[in-house]
Amino acid sequence: MNTFAGKVALLTCFDIEFPELSRLAMEQGVNMIFCPSCTTSEHGLHRVNRCARARAIENQVFVITAGLTGGLHRFPDLVENHAYSGIYSPCDAFFSVDGVIAEGVYNRDMILYGNLDLKALKQSRETVTPLSSPLINCRRQDLYTVQINKQDLIQNRRKMSWT
């Protein structure tokens, strides 16, 4: 999706756990991936957040997570949710050492904000320094490619639709 800040992608919760989706988004010019999530266990919470951080590093993009806290008592499977939100960057010389721009507090409702430096992201993708290497330029495309079969995607969406 095009915005005033460039192209963004939306990968909801479970989607961020699949590296191929983020890679396809990056290859289409995405600089930011938004990832809202609803995790009903601490296992799910940590999977989503660790995968979000990995996707930021692998694809040299910003990943913004927003988790649902508290419970939705009308829905028995969603009585308890576990979350903290975060804004993540690549881990290299142009950003913080841990790739964390901002991170929320576990299971606390809050507004999280941070600065996303698109110029630094561009430099990160283009510059080789002792502390960084443009990972997206080091991929071995002679060994593998990522492709999507749009027809299968449409059919699988229909199968997975919630009623």
pLDDT in tens, 36-83: 998 888 999 999 999 999 999 999 999 999 998 877 778 777 778 888
Report the chain's mean pLDDT, rounded to a whole number.
Answer: 85
pLDDT of residue 163: 35
- Nearest one of 3, 22, 1 to 11, comparing CA atoms: 22
Q: Which domain holds residue 50?
A: 2-160
Could you tell me the pTM of the whole model? 0.83
User: Could you report the per-residue pLDDT of 3-23, keeping only the tens digit for each?
Assistant: 888 899 999 988 999 998 999
Residue 8 belongs to what H/E stretch? strand 6-10
Domain total in the chain: 1
CATH number for position 137: 3.60.110.10
**Closest by alpha carbon to 50, among 82, 81, 16, 1?**
16
Structure-token pair, residue 77: 């499977």
56: left (phi over 0), alpha (psi -120 to 50) or beta: alpha
